[in-house]
Structure formats: structure tokens, C-alpha cells
Amino acid sequence: MKTVQAPCSSCIRKTKHDVLFETSQQRGEETRDSYALISCGGCSTVSMGHQRLWVDDGSIDQAYYPSPVSRKMPSWTFWLTLGLMKNKEEGALGALLMEIFQAVDGGQYRLAAMGIRALLEQVMIFKIGDLPTFDKKLDEFQKQGYISLIQRDSMRATLDVGDAAMHRGFRPTEQELSIALDVVEGVLLRKLSPNYRLGLIWWLVADEQNKGDGRHVKYFEGNRSAHWRSLDMNLFDGL
């Protein structure tokens, strides 16, 4: 079977893919389109590759569906969607988060950014009630202890990305979108479902002499600990 290197949206990297089916079409003089149904050799995820050849200059546009994003939808999104975590409002938030990931998968970054903005606003309204502006909502959200000052800044920046997409047609980069999704996932995980607790699992292993594991503590030197603590006081003190 013919194989090609292609990005896999489940493995989140380029892998060898089997080509299950391919076809091409020439509809006009200018372009020739080739389509390939491909299956990841690592995880069997099926996707479609589309190549457009511009006859004039021989240049090629290439796209994949789902698009090769650098992150997966978190598995707890399904719980949210089903409303299993707590209640109906959370179910609606989960459904919106799922649509955001579908937009990311489809390369629709502007729509994803707008969705993220809407989702963050809904979470805030859900928690603190409706207030006239984003800044007032953010202030209150922070005041009631749902986010730290630094989280407030990153939420503000994330809302700005959504705003720019909505009002100025701004298209966020994959990295900007990825940061926005980090913020959303963090806020959702920590602030919804008070009956669930976020945990960290440590695995205690027998002492070893040679590998030197545990020597990587640079991130903690000087006044770095104050920085980490400012990100999330409760989590830091808990640890």
C-alpha cells in the first residue's frame, strides 16, 4: 500500500500514513486538485489530504481535514457536554467547548477565538452574574477568588483576541489560539464543578544513584517561587 508522511490530529505529529484512496480532478485551466483518504500508521485515525496545484507557476497548496492542530480536545469535555459533572449550564458550556475544538480542527481560527470569548463570558456570568462590561466581570471574578491577578491578565488577553476576531477580522495564529485554549481549559477545570477536586498524582519510586533525577530545580531558584505562587496561590500552597 502506498504510504505518505502526513500530520495526524490524534498523535499530534507527522506520522507515516497508508493511502486508502486517492483521486484527482481538473475543473478549470488554473488548478488541479488531488484528494487522498489516509490512515495513520500509529493510531489508525483517518483523515483527508487535499492538494491544489496551481498550473501557472507549479505552486501547491496543501490542507488536511481535520486540520493538524497541536492539541487534542480534553477528554472531560464529553463529561461536561453530557452534563454529568454538575448541571445543565455546564452541559451547555461543554457543548460550546466541543464546537470550539471542531472549529480549531477545521482551521476556522477566527470562529474558534469568538467561541472562546463567548465561553469565557458565559463562565463568568454563570459564576458571578451579569455585569455591564468585561472588565467589571473580570474584576468581580477575581475579587470572588475564581482567578488570580495573573490569570485575570491572561483572561483579558484571551478576550481581546476574541474581540479582535469579532470586530476587526483578526485571524489568530495557532500559537495564540493554543494559549487561549490553555486559559479556557484552566478556567473551566478549576472553576466549574465544585464537587470535583483537581489532583496531582505522585509516584514514589525507590532511591537510585546514577540518573541524578531531582536535580532540576532551577525553576525554583532566587525569587522564582514567588512567581509560581502568584499564578495560583491555592495550588502552590497545597503542593
CB of 48 to Zn ion, least distance (A): 14
Provide, for the chain, the percentages of residues in helix, strand and coil under a 3-state DSSP scheme, each rounded to the nearest 5. 45, 20, 35
Pair 111, 119: CB distance under 8 Å: no
* Distance, CA of 177 to CA of 220 (rounded, Å): 29
CB of 26 to Zn ion, least distance (A): 31
Residues in region 45-104 near Zn ion by CB under 5 A:
45
Based on its alpha-carbon atoms, the radius of gyration of the chain, rounded to whole angstroms, reads 22
* Distance, CA of 108 to CA of 114 (rounded, Å): 10
42 binds Zn ion (CB under 5 A): yes
CB of 138 to Zn ion, least distance (A): 39
Residue from the set 6, 36, 40, 124 that interacts with Zn ion by CB under 5 A:
40
Cα-based distances in Å from 101 to 87, 108, 114: 21, 10, 12
Could you tell me the strand order of the sheet in which 31-40 lies? 3-8, 13-25, 31-40, 46-54, 60-65
CB of 6 to Zn ion, least distance (A): 10
Supply 115's cell numbers: 467561541
CB of 68 to Zn ion, least distance (A): 11
CB of 155 to Zn ion, least distance (A): 33
The stretch among 4-12, 122-130, 163-171, 209-217 that binds Zn ion (CB under 5 A) is 4-12
* Distance, CA of 161 to CA of 166 (rounded, Å): 9
* Distance, CA of 231 to CA of 187 (rounded, Å): 13
Residues in region 123-142 near Zn ion by CB under 5 A:
none
The stretch among 7-15, 16-24, 124-132, 223-231 that binds Zn ion (CB under 5 A) is 7-15
Nearer of residues 67 and 122 to Zn ion, judged by Cβ: 67
Nearer of residues 18 and 185 to Zn ion, judged by Cβ: 18
192 binds Zn ion (CB under 5 A): no
Nearer of residues 69 and 184 to Zn ion, judged by Cβ: 69
177 binds Zn ion (CB under 5 A): no
Give the interface with Zn ion as residue ranges (CB under 5 A): 8, 10-11, 40, 42-43, 45
